[in-house]
Amino acid sequence: TQLLEQSPQFLSIQEGENLTVYCNSSSVFSSLQWYRQEPGEGPVLLVTVVTGGEVKKLKRLTFQFGDARKDSSLHITAAQPGDTGLYLCAGHLASYNQGGKLIFGQGTELSVKP
């Protein structure tokens, strides 16, 4: 049973297009993180959202945490080939209070073609 569902799993778009990736769960998270992973590398943290309804922007990337802290979205404006990679959402369970256990979604493989 997947605790965090990401959609879509695969996305292939042209440079300049916009896209949104969704991360959904029935569980409440104390915080949620988005990572980007390139082939042959480990995930790299992009952002952490903590408060329900929080919106954070990182250049052309906009991250939103749902009001109930059960879901999140990542929106990319005017995608570029350099955005290509695996995008992972990961949540810290609200009931887990030691050392920050992360539950990962299955990832969204994004390909941006020039």
| Chain contacts with other proteins (rule: CB under 8 A) | 4, 6, 9, 31, 33, 40-45, 48, 88, 90, 92, 98-102, 104-107
Q: What CA–CA distance (Å, rounded) separates 43 from 22? A: 18
Q: DSSP code of 82?
A: G
Shorter beta-carbon distance to other proteins: residue 60 or 101: 101
Q: What CA–CA distance (Å, rounded) separates 98 from 39? A: 30
**Tokens for 42?**
């480990």
Q: Which residues does 44 contact at the CB level (< 8 Å), separation at least 6?
A: 35, 36, 37
Shorter beta-carbon distance to other proteins: residue 44 or 55: 44
Shorter beta-carbon distance to other proteins: residue 3 or 55: 3
